[in-house]
Amino acid sequence: MTNRLLIWWGVFLIVLSGEYLLLAPEAGAKDSVKRQVPAITSSGLRKAAGGNPGVVEIISDPLGETEFRVADEIASAVASTQETGPNGEIALRVIPVVSRGGIQAVRDVLTLPNADFGIVSARILDRLQETRELGDIKNRIGYVAPLYVEEIHLLAGPNVRSLADLQGQAVSIGEDEGTTQVIARELLSSADVQVRAERWGLKESIAALKAGKIAAAFLVSGKPVDDLKTLTTSDDLRLIPVTLSSPPSGFLPSTITAEDYPALLRPGEKVNTFGVQNILFAYNWPSQSQRAQLEEMFIKSLVLRLAALKRPPHHPKWQEVEPARTLPGWQRLASMDAWLKQSDQRLRAEFVKSSRR
C-alpha cells in the first residue's frame, strides 16, 4: 500500500510540475509566444488559412478602452443589418477581439485567419512601414476610413503636476507593443524625461496608482474612456497636461476637459495634451476571394448604420468619423473606395455633414 501511495504521489508531482511549466513566469511565456510567431519573409508575415466563412473579427484594444467599445458597437451595428434565416442564422457575424492594440493588432490582422479588420493609430502604421518590423505592409493592408483622435491621457497622483515631475519616477507606459507604450516612449524621448518604466495595462496601472506604487500612468485612447470614468474624487488622481515644444510627427494638439472626466478635473478645468489619429484598416485580400467578399459585405452594412452610430447611446467619438477623409501615404481598401466612388454625391455630402454635427 505504501509503495502505491508513493507511486501516485510521484505521478501527482510530475503533473503538478508540468502545469507549473505551462504557467511559467511572464518572461518565459513571452519567449514561448515569440517562437510561435510566423517567420517574417520579404513579403511580410504569413496569413493563416482556414478562416470561418461567415465570421470576421475586428482586432481592437483591451476591455475598458474606447477602441474596444467602438469595435463592439461596430459589431452590433453590422448585426442589425443582417437578415435572419429560418434557424436564426445570419450571413455575417462580426466579433470584436481584445488585444494589446498597436503593433499586436497589425500583426494579428496580418496572420490570424478570421482577423480581417483592426483599429489602430495611423502613427503605428507609419512607424511599422518605416522600420519594416513586420515587413513591407503597404500592399498587404488597406484603410477603410480614418476614425477619430485618440488622446494621450497622463494620469497621476497628487505629487505630480507636470511631465517634468516624472523624471526618475516609476511610471506605467502601457503593455508591450500596444499603442500606449509606443506613443509614451516617443513622447518621453521628445521631452527628454527618463522614467522607471512599468509595462502594465490600464486596470493594473490604476490599481498601482491607488496603492502609491507608481507616480503616473499613460493611456492613449479616445476620450472619454469608460474605465477612467469609474474613478471618483476620493481616488485622489488627476490628469496632467502634456506639453512639448517639438512634438513628434503625427501628434495632434488636443484638449481634455472636466466635462470628459468630472472626477479627474475641477469644474471648468481643462488640460492640453496631444492625440493621434486612428483608423479602421483591413487585410487586403485578393479581390475575387471569399474573404474579400465578406469584407465588402461588412463595409456595406457598416455604412448603412453609420448615421445611427453617431447618435447616443453610442460613444461620442463617432461624431468625429468622416468616411470620405483620406489617409496620406496609404491606400484605401478597394471595396470601400468603390463604395465612395459609386455613392451619390448628395449622399456622401450628407454623411460628411452629419459627421460634423
Q: What is the DSSP string of 102-163?
A: HHHHHHHHHH-TTEEEEEEEHHHHHHHHHHTBTB--TTTEEEEEEEEEEEEEEEE-TT--SG
Q: Please name which of 349, 299, 267 lies closest in space to residue 94, comparing C-alpha atoms.
A: 299
Residue predicted with more confidence, 1 or 56: 56
| Residue 4 predicted with pLDDT over 80 | no
Q: pLDDT over 70 for what percent of the chain?
A: 82
> Can you read off the three cell numbers belonging to residue 264?
479627474
The domains found in the chain, sorted by start residue, are: 55-148+279-355 (3.40.190.10), 150-277 (3.40.190.10)
Q: Cα-atom radius of gyration of the chain, to the nearest Å?
A: 23
Chain centroid to CA 37: 20
* Mean pLDDT, all residues of the chain: 85
Q: In DSSP terms, which residues pair with 354 in a beta bridge? A: none
CB 242, CB 233: distance < 8 Å: no
Q: Determine how many CB atoms are found less than 10 A away from the CB of residue 31.
A: 10
Q: Which pLDDT value is given to residue 302?
A: 94
pTM of the model: 0.82
| Residue 338 predicted with pLDDT over 60 | yes
| Residue 54 predicted with pLDDT over 90 | no
Chain centroid to CA 346: 33
pLDDT tens digit sequence for 172-210? 999 999 999 999 999 999 999 999 999 999 999 999 999
pLDDT band at 50 (very low <50, low <70, confident <90, very high): confident
Instruction: Rounding to the nearest 10 degrees, give the CA dihedral for residues 138, 141, 147, 153.
Output: -70
Q: What angle do CA 348, 352, 354 make, to 5 degrees?
A: 115
CB 60, CB 97: distance < 8 Å: yes
pLDDT tens digit sequence for 139-169? 999 999 999 999 999 999 999 999 999 999 9
Amino acid identity, position 250: G
Amino acid identity, position 70: V
Element housing 304 (H / E): helix 290-304
